[in-house]
Structure 1
Amino acid sequence: MSFPVDRRHFLALASAGAGTLALAACGGPDTSGGAGASKTADADFSNVKPAASIDFWTNHPGKSQDVEKQLIDKFQKANPGITVNLVTAGSSYEDIAQKFQTAQAARSGLPAVVVLSDVWWFRYYINGNIIPLDALTKQLGVQVSDYRDSLVKDYQYGGKQWAMPYARSTPLFYYNKDHFKAAGLPDRAPKTWDEFAEWAPKLAAAGVAQHAFQYGPMAGYAGWTMQNNLWGWGTGWSKDWDVTCDSDDAVAAMQWAQDSVYKGKWAGVSSKDQADDFAAGIASTTLASTGSLVGVLKNAKFTVGVGFLPGGPKASTSVCPTGGAGLGIPSGISKEQQLAAATFIKFVGEPENAALFSAATGYMPVRKSADMTEVLAKTPQIQTAIDQLAVTRVQDNARVFLPGADQEMGKTAAKILTQQGDVKTEMAALKKTLQGIYEKDVKPKLTA
């Protein structure tokens, strides 16, 4: 299922007909009906006055509601002519996507600023539901070059900027230093999963926790975090447009994960939130977003350690994906609202405010010039997340560009890790599903 088109070319080719993506059939909201990205031109805002009131839709990523309120208060003091209404649009990125879809269909009630995750925002770009920000960033003097390159470039498609980084993260390896000490283990994250497999029995023998390691809920972000395992085994969900989840290496990676639960019996699967389980001492280690860092440090009654993600038998570096969300502006609102929205997005991304948001959540400081001295003095673990950013890897096409694929990956992982399904069978079924999505919903747009 190979198709020689890279990511940027793919989205540059997206036409008005891309609105026919059958997202609902793949577990996500139907985002059809837009004008199409190729017809969304830069607008002229030179004679526009910003709206007096705008809505900001968010799911408060990383439990950020308090700091979001703080940022809004700061913004309104600096911009007394603009009121920002903080709207809880759901508890997850998927909730926001559904609410945004409903507002698009009704052609009313749209926000001015909306949080869009890594696997949802490009769908709205394809359908013309969000505007390019280039004219606004130029008019407002936004220093785009001061944003961290790997984060801001995630939203550059078709030669334009479609969102700005906001709650950006990588997974981190979290470990309980007290448990490691009790088990006689070194005070560091394991370099590979094989090394951790040697450590896990020692943690179990020490009787320090219910599980040596806790996987996250499979219905959550298994498609995101398990890229680490697949990449470590020398494969992935896909390579470019080739779906590779049924390869021998992919099956071996997922078999290893299943064995950690059923044969080794040292790993568990969280029913709610693995970061909360870890902070409660239920598990000695876990993989969780950097956005969970501050909450874990606050709630844990033990000394928390963090490290880079472990590698595998074939790759020990560049096995960590980026993720999270950016801030976008809908196309179906007035220029006055769009200008006010861009003014707010600029403010949120200013270096001082980027540092403030990072300090409150543990997410990446999205600006290069953000002064993290005070933040790191209080939370030195954030430096590990910043350092790991240099060895992150672009996510697999299959996860971020195939509509609904993330949910399908989660379902497959759940069958393997919570129902002990046959790994080879489940991964072959997943390939069939992903290839079907590609053939029906993506490939026709590439050849249009």
Structure 2
Amino acid sequence: MTQHLDRRHFLGLAGMTASAAALAACGGPSTSGTPAATEAAEIDFNGVKPAAKIDFWSNHPGKSQDVEKAIIEKFHAKFPDIKVNLVTAGANYEEIAQKFQTSQAAKTGLPGLVVLSDVWWFRYFTNGSIIPVDALVKQLDIKLDDFRKSLVDDYKYSDKQWALPYGRSTPLFYYNKDHFQAAGLPDRAPKTWQEFGEWAPKLKASSGAQYAYIYPALAGYAGWTLQNNLWGWGGSWSKEWEITCDSPESIEALQWAQDSIYKNGWAGVSSKEAADDFSAGLTSSTISSTGSLLGVLKSAPFNVGVGFLPGGPKAETNVCPTGGAGLGIPSGISKEEQLAAGTFLKFMTEPENSAAFSAATGYMPTRESADMTAVLAQTPQIQTAMDQLAVTRVQDNARVFLPGADQELAKAAAAILTQQADVKSTMTNLKKTLEGIYEKDVKPKLG
């Protein structure tokens, strides 16, 4: 994906920190730190011997613990002098962030390799908590040009590579084929939300499900998936650093979403995990990560369909954000541990293992040369996620670069979709909050 110049400039600034107090309030890790990530000198690993043991911190995205263990076993067979210990560092990306922050502060117990989410990874970058992997890429001959460019470039800033893609995803539109057939609907995802609005009453009337559609749990990643709705209506959380969540287009998009629940009565909001609600037959459709694909296909007792995210009245395509996580190496460990971690990082992201991870989870393969023939023969739905990658869009700055903003987006979405709060006033208040974060924690750093 083409990154915005202002975004590159922002991330290239040395010594950027964010408000620890604001982050403590929203439950995220502090971004205060000392070393400036952009000033990190290239590490010389010549003559360094890899450490005998490292920890790999993961939240096992897409229920990937078994495939992670299998890849580690293969690694041990090839590199018997390096032991990788798989650690469940949290149930989600936020818990990993907290654990990583705690270890950073204590200056002990750091992993060799850590999962970094799309929202949290840059905070480690800005406070110097991770190293650029360029020297390891060169020394270990990691084929960067074989990674899917739009995915690997997400971690490239200030002419340095700060992580490699791992469990990368887009949201997908999941639908119950049996329900769609019973309602006399075409066997495909809707092209627009307006089209689905026409389908929804038919689904509600014929399916026996409680909802025609269920919105993803708002306590999780509402700011991620709702970008689809905003973009389809011509709105956004922000345009560059201008907060636009209160624009007429954004308000119209969220009003439509609220109306689908309270006025039209065909939509609901998941209390925990929309993919599980869908698999259980509670709803005829939902939006969930590609990382949920394999779990849904295994657990749903009906025929599952997947498709691109619907567009809106202003945009029918390029309304899908990327997401997921990459893998990074901490700066606060020895060169020996960093080299061992780099060796494992290379192995973990090899084409064969990328294909295996995709086959086990539904996440997109991160390598161009990954042989997906067998995977697609068994799970052809993964092709939809791979195809949708070509029409994705860079996430709004307000979600991924304003510290603590993702939680504020989720709170505002919850007020609108679960408490029937006034959309305009909620978005006006959200804008003030986001602008406050920008003015305090970002603007002074832009110079």
TM above 0.5, yes or no, is yes
What residue in structure 2 maps to residue 199 of structure 1?
Answer: 199
1:112-191 aligned at under 5 Å gives the runs: 112-191=112-191
Residue of structure 2 equivalent to 1:63: 63
AA of the residue aligned to 2:284: S
* RMSD of aligned alpha carbons: 1.1
The residue correspondences of 1:7-406 to structure 2 (distance < 5 A) are 7-13=7-13, 15-16=14-15, 18=17, 22-406=22-406
Match of 2:17, SS state, is helix
Shift of 1:38: 2.6
SS class of match (1:167):
strand
1:235, distance to aligned residue in structure 2 (A): 1.5
In 2, Cα distance between equivalents of 1:339 and 1:132: 12
CA contact (8 A) 1:142 1:346 kept: yes
In the TM superposition, residue 434 of structure 1 has moved relative to its aligned partner by 0.5
Q: In the alignment, which residue of structure 2 is the partner of 1:432? A: 432
Residue 210 and residue 19 in structure 1: after superposition, are their counterparts in 2 closer, same or farther (change >3 A)?
A: closer
Q: Number of residue pairs matched?
A: 443
Q: Distance in 1 between matches of 2:207 and 2:174?
A: 18
What displacement does 1:74 show? 0.8
Q: CA deviation at 1:211?
A: 0.4
For the residues of structure 2 that align with 1:46 and 1:198, how far apart are their CA atoms? 64
> Can you give the 5+ residue segments of structure 1 that lack an aligned partner in the other structure?
none
Q: Residues 214 and 270 of structure 1 are in contact (CA less than 8 Å); yes or no, is this contact kept in structure 2?
A: yes
Q: Is the 8 A contact 2:18 2:403 kept in 1?
A: no
Offset at residue 207 of structure 1 (A): 3.7
What is the Cα deviation at residue 5 of structure 1? 5.9
**1:441 and 1:26, CA in 2 relative to 1: closer, same or farther beyond 3 A?**
farther
* Cα distance in 2 for residues equivalent to 1:297 and 1:392: 24
Answer yes or no: is the 8 Å Cα contact 1:20–1:33 preserved in 2. Answer: no
- In structure 2, stretches of 5+ residues that fail to align are none
Deviations along 1:73-125, one digit per CA (max 9) or x if unpaired, are: 11111111100000000101000000001001101111110001000000110
Helix, strand or coil for the counterpart of 1:417? helix
**After alignment, is 190-199 or 24-33 more displaced?**
24-33
Cα offset for 1:366? 0.1
Helix, strand or coil at the partner of 1:231 = helix
Specify the SS of the correspondent of 2:407. helix
Measured against aligned partners, the alpha-carbon deviations of 1:268-327 in whole angstroms (never above 9, x if no partner) come to: 111110000101111100000000000000000000000000000000000000000000
* Structure 1 residue 23, shift from structure 2 partner: 2.5
Structure 1 counterpart of 2:76, which letter? Answer: Q
> What's the TM-score once normalised by structure 2's chain length?
0.98
Paired letter, 2:34: G
Residue deviations 1:344-367 (CA, integer Å, cap 9, x gap): 111011000000000000001000
In 2, are the aligned partners of 1:34 and 1:127 still within 8 Å (CA)? yes
8 Å contact from structure 1 (residues 34, 129) kept in 2: no
In structure 1, distance between residues paired with 2:398 and 2:16: 21
- Letter paired with 1:291: G
- Whole-angstrom distance in 2 between the partners of 1:148 and 1:351: 11
SS, match of residue 312 in structure 2 = coil
C-alpha deviation, 1:46, in angstroms: 1.2
The alpha-carbon deviation at position 19 of structure 1 amounts to 6.0
SS of the residue corresponding to residue 115 of structure 1 reads strand
Q: Deviations over 1:239-261 (max 9, x none)?
A: 01100000000000000000011
> Is the Cα–Cα contact under 8 Å of residues 16 and 126 in structure 2 kept in the other structure?
no
CA contact (8 A) 2:175 2:284 kept: yes
- Percent identical among aligned pairs is 72
Q: Which amino acid aligns with 1:135?
A: A
Q: CA-to-partner distance for each residue in 1:186-242, whole Å, 9 max, x for gaps? A: 000000000000000000110431100011110101000000000000111000110
Mapped partners of 2:37, 2:267: distance in 1? 44
How far is the alpha carbon of 1:40 from its aligned partner? 1.6
Scaled by the length of structure 1, what TM-score is found?
0.97
Contact 1:26–1:403 (Cα < 8 Å) also in 2: no
